[in-house]
């Protein structure tokens, strides 16, 4: 302010964040492509998934696919069994066993734009708890997407997710957020959390997520990227969002 000689200068961080929140069509295209490269990585991992496959092998399949598509892997969480409850754990040589969950939380950088998606698989038929809990978190994300349209606030999207997961039987269920903006950074405002009264606008891009973690049991998640349209939302991800069952 002193250098500019302008006593009216003000912090423009909030203004810049609001402007960045609405993406240009070219940015939306890059974010869509980044999301689909991450999605292709998960598909490649599931193609090799079987009893005895290691977390490292799953992660390598994810990363190699994203690199082949011209992206830079930035986080590759591919964890199995009880380790799937560790939110941001690095993969290890641990091998997948029948009856266990595998959780994927995947992000890459493509031409400066980020992706962040999540998927869950089980080796063999899921038990009642696995099936029921996954159905609950998927219901939460589905209701977020169904609610999304211009004028709805980020806090309303958070609230509908939390109500749905709890209604479908996961109690207690606690989250600080159920999504976030994405673009040149993996986390951009607005965050989908309580008290965030930012109204959604066409062109805003989000990751919606409803993870569930239980130490000693496992973790599961479904996370999708989307853009707000004039009357709803367009999902970037195209792969099945149900719990993937890998034959044991």
The answer to whether 150 and 199 have CB atoms below 8 angstroms apart is: yes
Residue 244 falls inside a structural domain: no
Span 99-104, mean pLDDT? 98
Q: How many CB atoms lie within 10 A of CB 163?
A: 14
The 10s digit of each residue's pLDDT in 1-31 is 677 777 777 888 888 888 889 999 999 999 9
* pLDDT value of residue 231: 96
Higher pLDDT, 19 or 65: 65
Q: What is the pLDDT of residue 120?
A: 98
Domain membership of residue 3 (yes or no) is no
Q: What are phi and psi of 15, to 5 degrees?
A: -60, -45
Please indicate, yes or no, if residue 24 is contained in any of the structural domains: yes
Q: What local confidence, expressed as pLDDT, does residue 1 receive?
A: 65
pTM of the model as a whole: 0.94
Question: Range with the lowest mean pLDDT among 2-16, 30-44, 212-226?
Answer: 2-16
In a domain, 245, yes or no: no
Residue 50 lies in a domain: yes
Whether residue 238 contacts residue 35, with contact meaning beta carbons closer than 8 Å, is answered with: no
State the pLDDT confidence band at 211, using cuts at 50, 70 and 90.
Answer: very high
Q: What is the pLDDT of residues 127-182, one digit of tens each?
A: 999 999 999 999 999 999 999 999 999 999 999 999 999 999 999 999 999 999 99
Determine the structural domain holding residue 26 and report its residue range: 13-239
**Average pLDDT, integer, range 213-230:** 98
Q: How many domains does the chain have?
A: 1
| Contacts for 123 with CB less than 8 Å, ≥ 6 apart | 49, 50, 51, 96, 97, 98, 99, 100, 102, 246, 248
Which residues neighbour 188 within 8 Å (Cβ) at sequence distance 6 or greater? 17, 20, 21, 180, 181, 182
List the CATH number of the domain containing 183.
3.90.230.10
| Strands 212-214 vs 218-220: parallel, antiparallel or unpaired | antiparallel
CA distance between the termini of the chain: 66
């Amino acid at each position: 302010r002193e250098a500019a000689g302008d006593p009216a200068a003000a912090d423009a961080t909030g203004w810049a964040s609001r402007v960045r929140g609405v993406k240009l069509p070219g940015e939306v295209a890059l974010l869509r492509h980044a999301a689909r490269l991450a999605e292709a990585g998960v598909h490649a991992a599931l193609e090799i998934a079987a009893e005895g496959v290691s977390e490292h092998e799953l992660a390598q399949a994810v990363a190699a696919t994203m690199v082949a598509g011209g992206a830079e892997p930035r986080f590759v969480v591919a964890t199995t069994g009880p380790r799937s409850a560790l939110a941001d754990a690095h993969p290890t040589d641990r091998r997948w066993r029948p009856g266990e969950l595998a959780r994927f939380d995947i992000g890459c950088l493509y031409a400066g734009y980020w992706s962040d998606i999540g998927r869950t698989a089980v080796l063999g038929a899921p038990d009642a708890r696995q099936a029921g809990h996954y159905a609950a978190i998927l219901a939460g994300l589905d209701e977020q997407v169904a609610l999304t349209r211009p004028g709805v606030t980020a806090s309303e999207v958070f609230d509908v997710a939390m109500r749905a997961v709890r209604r479908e039987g996961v109690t207690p269920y606690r989250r600080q957020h159920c999504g976030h903006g994405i673009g040149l950074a993996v986390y951009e405002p607005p965050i989908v959390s309580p008290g965030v009264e930012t109204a959604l606008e066409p062109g805003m891009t989000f990751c919606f997520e409803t993870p569930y973690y239980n130490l000693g049991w496992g973790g599961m998640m479904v996370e999708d990227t989307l853009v707000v349209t004039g009357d709803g939302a367009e999902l970037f991800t195209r792969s099945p969002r149900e719990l993937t069952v890998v034959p044991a």
